[in-house]
Amino acid sequence: MEIVHAYVDRRMRRRPAADSSGWRDDLISRFTAGGHSEEFVRDNLISFVLAGRDTTPSALTRFFWVLSSRPDVVAQIRGEIERIRSGRRQGETLFTQDDLKQMNYLQAAISETLRLYPPVPLVPRECLEDDELPDGALVRRGWVVMYNAHAMGRREALWGRDCEEYRPERWLEEGVVGASVLEKFDVEVVEASGRRRLLMTMKMEGGLQVKLKQRRAY
């Protein structure tokens, strides 16, 4: 923890210089501008460094794996990106928060991937006091109770008869890394087992080998 704290402290001291108006646009400055303490900011940065190390790559691996067999979904996402790009000044390349809020279909596609392939399939919780679950089951203080997000995401009672089907539209009936990659590249899966490897996070056995083909200039 001393090593991690020292690393985060260095990053906090090395923030980019402010612009002419005194504004800093980096993530750390946005936190501090919200009135949060240095300790609060440091704790959140540690969460970014540690907590997202496995789950984010795992989610993106499955996302691109699924899309490799769904060109119709890729076309929908790219159409959404092009529509958002058309309203911006030439030369602006980064996606803004406002851009991301408009990417409804991308959000739906990611949500559908997480429903079928949650990076953390089993979520444990420790019972602090004796309690009773809604179905009448008793749990005692100190017991560990886990819910299976992987199974819940595939329950017909919750998602309907097409619960095993990848259908982003289900999230629109009731908008990033994915956008940046799909706008500029075709992603072709070269080799992937598709098999699940269950550790603390659910990974794809052997990883995902892909070829990236740059698309025409946007």
What is the 3-class SS of the chain, one letter each residue? CHHHHHHHHHHHHCCCCCCCCCCCCCHHHHHHHCCCCHHHHHHHHHHHHHCHHHHHHHHHHHHHHHHCCCHHHHHHHHHHHHHHHCCCCCCCCCCCHHHHHHCHHHHHHHHHHHHHCCCCCEEEEECCCCEECCCCCEECCCCEEEEEHHHHCCCHHHHCCCCCCCCCCHHHHCCCHHHHHHHHEEEEEEECCCCEEECCCEEECCCCEEEEEECCCC
Domain ranges of the chain: 2-50, 52-214
- Mean pLDDT (whole number) for 60-87: 93
**pLDDT recorded at residue 69:** 94
Q: What is the pTM of this model?
A: 0.66
Is pLDDT larger for residue 98 or for residue 152?
A: 152
Tell me the pLDDT tens digit for each residue of 153-201: 999 988 999 999 999 999 887 547 677 678 888 888 887 667 777 665 6
Rounded mean pLDDT, 59-86: 93
Q: Chain-wide mean pLDDT for the chain?
A: 83
- Please give the share of the chain, as a percent, with pLDDT higher than 70: 86
> What is the arithmetic mean of pLDDT over 58-78?
94
Task: Identify the band that residue 17 occupies on the pLDDT scale cut at 50, 70 and 90.
Answer: low
User: What pLDDT, on the 0 to 100 scale, is given for residue 42?
Assistant: 81
User: Does the pLDDT of residue 19 top 70, yes or no?
Assistant: no
pLDDT at 175: 45
Mean pLDDT of the region 127-150: 91
Average pLDDT over residues 116-135: 90
Does position 205 have pLDDT exceeding 60, yes or no?
yes
- The reported pLDDT for the residue numbered 144 is 93
Q: Please compute the mean of the pLDDT values over residues 22-50 and round it to a whole number.
A: 74
Is pLDDT above 90 for 96?
Answer: no
Which fold, 52-214? Cytochrome p450 (1.10.630)
Q: What distance in Å separates the CA atoms of residue 173 and residue 127, rounded to the nearest whole number?
A: 36
Query: What's the confidence (pLDDT) of residue 20?
Result: 59
